[in-house]
Amino acid sequence: MILKPQDVVILLKLVAIGKADWSFSTLSAALFMSPSEVHAGIHRAIAAKLATKGIGRVSPAIRSLEEFLIHGLRYVFIPDRGEITRGMPTLHAGPPLSKMLIPSNDAPPVWSDPEGNVRGQSFSPLYKSVPKAAKQDHQLYELLVLADAIRGGRLREHEIAINEISKRLKDYNDHKP
């Protein structure tokens, strides 16, 4: 069984919603994926030991997920960069990194989105529905930006993203239901 990029999106959504209850249909609607895609993604995440199945509940395996995000993501899901397009900011141009780094004069990296409000260089998201899902959930948006900085950011962005995503995963682990 091979992990797919949308599985990372699903896991980051589980981190974003915290310990709140969820169903395959609510995840599917929030991520603009089919219920079968979400179901299969959860099963692949469990098989890869990035999620655990408890009594009536699937949760991200935070330590394993952190290790994968930090050490494996950039080697497994390599981003494509393309032409100048309209889209939604990511990497150093998206939150939370845009608040932590001084902007450069280069075209900002963006997920291509016809409704986007920024013109920049296209940067492939982990899954085609990422821009739509990120518009609906700011916490998910920030986690996806951090994941992109790990996947394809410059050294400084990469290091800041690792520290920030580690803090957020620790917060998830420390949160009591």
pLDDT tens for each residue of 83-104: 999 999 999 999 999 999 887 7
Q: With 90 as the cut, is the pLDDT of residue 70 above it?
A: yes
Whole-number average pLDDT of the chain: 94
By DSSP bridging, strand 57-60 and strand 81-89 are unpaired
Q: Which residue has tokens 């004069």?
A: 105
Q: Which residue did the predictor score with more confidence, 18 or 174? A: 18
Contact (Cβ atoms closer than 8 angstroms) between residue 13 and residue 137: yes
Decide: pTM greater than 0.75. yes
Q: How many CB atoms lie within 10 A of CB 164?
A: 19
Contact (Cβ atoms closer than 8 angstroms) between residue 64 and residue 75: no
| Domain limits, CATH 1.10.10, in the chain | 5-75
Q: With 80 as the cut, is the pLDDT of residue 176 above it?
A: no
Q: Which residue did the predictor score with more confidence, 32 or 176? A: 32
pLDDT tens for each residue of 117-170: 999 999 999 999 999 999 999 999 999 999 999 999 999 999 999 999 999 999
The CATH class of 5-75 is: mainly alpha
Contact (Cβ atoms closer than 8 angstroms) between residue 45 and residue 51: yes
